[in-house]
Amino acid sequence: MSNGEPLISPTIPNTHNTSNQNLKVFKRDPQHRIFVNRGLHLDKIKFYGFDMDYTLAVYKSPVYESMGFDHLKARLVDIGYPTDFLRFEFDPAFPVRGLWFDKIYGNLLKVDSHGNILVCIHGFRFLKPHEVQELYPNKYIQLEDNRLYVLNTLFNIPETYMLACIINYFETNKEYSKTKTGVTYSNIHMSFKSIFQDARAAVDWLHSHGDLKSSTMANLEKYVHKDDRLPILLDRIRQIGAKTVLITNSGYEYTDKIMTYLLDFPEKYGSRHWTSYWDCVVVDAMKPLFFEDGTILRVVDTETGALSIGHHLGPLKSGEIYSGGSCEVVSRLLGAKGSDVLYVGDHIFGDILKSKKIRGWRTFLIIPELTTELQVWTEKKQLFDNLTRIESALSDIYKHLDSSTLERPDTSIISQKLRAVVHELDMSYGMLGSLFRSGSRQTFFASQVRRYADIYAASILNLLHYPFCYMFRAPAMLMPHEATVDHYSVNDVDSMPIVFRSRSSSDAGCDALASKRPREKSTEQAVSWPEPPLKVVHIHDDGDSEEDNSESSLSLHSVNSNCTFSPDNEHIN
């Protein structure tokens, strides 16, 4: 943070005389950091859009999930399920986001980005590899909407555990006959698909008609985190000339209660109504429909909650509340273009994927679980060191072996140790492991984060630790041949087949290429060859792709090892 002194641009050291090992890249504290998938210049953002639930209003875990689970089991009993369900107790150690539910076999699946099954659970029972193979050939399944449901949101956590509880109940109860696709009791058959549909309908009912929101509003301190830094962040965004926009699926009454609670700090910031922090507020947005055709944009009467008739034609005013609408209409009334908007949300599909694919907004994904993920990543260093030692021992076994080796080395002990360490590491996150990986394999959820979230963090408040002129740059996405090979490792180049892409006359291959060029004749026009560009033409990063970026017009010959850069342009955030 600036102390009033003028910022001095540091000089980049001469890399010809300095080892990279001596260079230190500044990194913020992991819990305060924003992580980058694609480059983003904050000074180009003119509109900051925010979701509310689990973005601004972060619900306290596990008490909030436990409360939702209790409401869910009561609803299922009300619609006819056994009263034994009331004895179910929420276990926060079991569920994780991003699982797929197979409606045919009633299994919860943890899969990688390609659909390969990493973990398969039926009720509370973890299926063995041969059991998975029987149900899913090659341990693979393709994502199909009519068969699979992706439990991607934090609101899905109670539902995920409830599905496991229900199936475990029926599978272990001797009164029910089990089939491959469901259970039978007397003259009634319940398929796993119908059980899922009942659970899904019960969840939707709780959010639209049940007591979930009223229970939350009745005890906000118990269920919702409150932080006095949130008003500071919103004010700072508006101070730099950007606009703040709230777009939530929640209705006006609930939004009013939550936002009043989150932004009411009379002893610090005086008596301010929560709408004074926003340039535009949209409730009942019905995302992801909001990013497509949307609905009618109406004005909310804040006294009665009633909606105006007809389409609101504008303008959008600070202090007013709007209902419905669409991204296209709201963007037009605000004067916002796709790349001008940074949308912050927690829902990988409803917030991030749709706003990115359909509207081209820049995206900031909030992942509250990231705090735990980073904690395990740092505190379990010993386990990661053990993995390195085991892999080193395995490499030593094969070190002097090649295709002439006839005797197969015994690696069984090392394999057992490797599996034990990987299992201990997975259990450090919870019974179903990390949100982002299983062993060395990244999950489907992780692949969606990489693909659709430009930046991501554990909390929106992490923005406070960055200036609003910050240039986020992504670390290099290395291929295995880049990540595992040192720059000085490949020495015996002559023995390797080479595809030449150089015009160097010292290369025999290039000499041969040059010999094939048509000879110039005085009576013919000289053969032209493309000239290497003297300016940056390759788009290396989305954040550098706009034509008004002055850096892209720099002549390469004008850049040398003594040029200066802003101190905030760190490579990895």
User: 193 in helix, strand or coil?
Assistant: helix
Report the alpha-carbon distance of residue 104 to residue 194 in Å, rounded.
10
User: 150 in helix, strand or coil?
Assistant: strand
Number of neighbours of residue 196 by Cβ within 10 angstroms = 19
Whole-number Cα distances in Å, 474 to 274, 366, 471: 35, 17, 10
Report the alpha-carbon distance of residue 311 to residue 296 in Å, rounded.
6
Report the alpha-carbon distance of residue 424 to residue 433 in Å, rounded.
10
- The torsion region of residue 144 among left (phi > 0), alpha (psi -120 to 50) and beta comes to beta
Cβ–Cβ < 8 Å for 321, 252: yes
Whole-number Cα distances in Å, 385 to 54, 347, 390, 468, 537: 34, 34, 9, 38, 42
- The answer to the question of whether 346 is labelled as a binding residue is yes
- H/E segment holding residue 457: strand 455-457
Instruction: Estimate the crossing angle of helix 63-78 against helix 157-172, to 10 degrees.
Output: 50
517 phi, psi to nearest 5 deg: -70, 140
341-345 and 321-323 beta bridge pairing:
unpaired
Instruction: Spell out where 240-327 has E strands.
Output: 243-247, 280-283, 298-300, 321-323
280-283 and 321-323 beta bridge pairing:
parallel
- The answer to the question of whether 492 is labelled as a binding residue is no
Cβ–Cβ < 8 Å for 279, 330: no
188-191 and 117-122 beta bridge pairing:
unpaired
Active site (catalytic) residues: 51, 53
Whole-number Cα distances in Å, 280 to 16, 255, 262, 313: 53, 13, 17, 14
Amino acid making up residue 174: K
Amino acid making up residue 427: M
Report the alpha-carbon distance of residue 177 to residue 365 in Å, rounded.
44
Q: Beginning with the edge strand found earlier in the chain, give each strand of the sheet holding 188-191 in spatial order.
A: 177-179, 182-185, 188-191
Instruction: Identify the bridge partners of residue 300 per DSSP, sorted by sequence position.
Output: 307, 321
Quickly tell me which residue has 């008004």 as its tokens.
Answer: 548
Cβ–Cβ < 8 Å for 304, 325: no
Cβ–Cβ < 8 Å for 324, 295: yes
Question: Which token pair is 195?
Answer: 């059980």
User: 563 in helix, strand or coil?
Assistant: coil
- The answer to the question of whether 198 is labelled as a binding residue is no
Residue list for the binding site for GMP? 53
Binding site members for Mg(2+): 51, 346
The binding site consists of: 51, 53, 346
